[in-house]
Amino acid sequence: MRVVILGSGRGSNAEAILLAQQAGRLGRARVVQIFADKPDAGILALGPRFGVEAAFLDAAPFKTKLDGAAEEHYIAAIMACRPDLVVLAGFMRVIKPRFLAAFEGKIINLHPSLLPSFPGLDGIGQAWRRGVKIAGCTVHRVTAEVDGGPILDQAAVRIEETDTLEESFAQKIHAAEHALLPAVIARLSEAG
């Protein structure tokens, strides 16, 4: 299974995937390309470290979505990789119908909440402010509805009274994400 990862930030979830691959825990999946929508995104440094191609793809002029010429550029670049799976790992752009159609059924996303609760931006902060006692993360298929696609798996995290938002709670969510996403990819690779 050929995997392309899209990211916007430091790349901790992509790193978890690549570490799982390195350790032989990614099933029949193999990351073949990393793309970032920001030229200084930390995720790009993972490419040379793990022997995977990594490149910046300009997504301008929009800051929160892929559309128009940028969307076409992304579709062409990803198609050239012949992906079986496109993983949104901290990719902070809304995916539009043309992109979805190009990779129908092949796009998954990791979201830092137990969907359908707290979709959209800042799932961790939303859960914290709401005062829930159980939060977590979700891997789901990407559809036109933001964070509304079919759920593939979830991991729950208990919020303790001693937790703080930025330190212990967010760290627990990230640890759950780093375990869940590679496990889902491995399962998908074995099923396909």
All domains of the chain in start order, with CATH = 2-191 (3.40.50.170)
Q: DSSP class of residue 81?
A: T
Q: What's the Rg (C-alpha) of the chain?
A: 16
Residues labelled as active-site residues: 111
Q: What is the DSSP string of 3-65?
A: EEEEESSS-HHHHHHHHHHHTT-STT-EEEEEEESSTT-GGGGHHHHHT-EEEE---TT-SSB
Mean pLDDT of 136-148: 95
Band (72; pLDDT cuts 50, 70, 90): very high
Cα 153 from Cα 141, distance rounded (Å): 10
Average pLDDT over the chain, rounded to whole?
Answer: 95
Examine the pLDDT at 71 and tell me if it is beyond 90: yes
Whether residue 5 contacts residue 85, with contact meaning beta carbons closer than 8 Å, is answered with no
Mean pLDDT of 144-161: 95
Whether residue 110 contacts residue 85, with contact meaning beta carbons closer than 8 Å, is answered with no
pLDDT of residue 158: 96
Helices (H), 105-169: 123-130
In the chain, pLDDT over 90 holds for what percent of residues?
89
Mean pLDDT of 91-105: 94
C-alpha closest to that of 7 among 35, 40, 30: 35
Band (166; pLDDT cuts 50, 70, 90): confident
Examine the pLDDT at 59 and tell me if it is beyond 70: yes
Examine the pLDDT at 192 and tell me if it is beyond 70: no
Band (74; pLDDT cuts 50, 70, 90): very high
Strand partners, 134: 158
Two tokens at 60?
A: 């301008």
Q: Give this prediction's pTM.
A: 0.95
Cα 131 from Cα 110, distance rounded (Å): 22
Which tens digits make up the pLDDT trace of 12-26? 999 999 999 999 999
Mean pLDDT of 143-150: 93
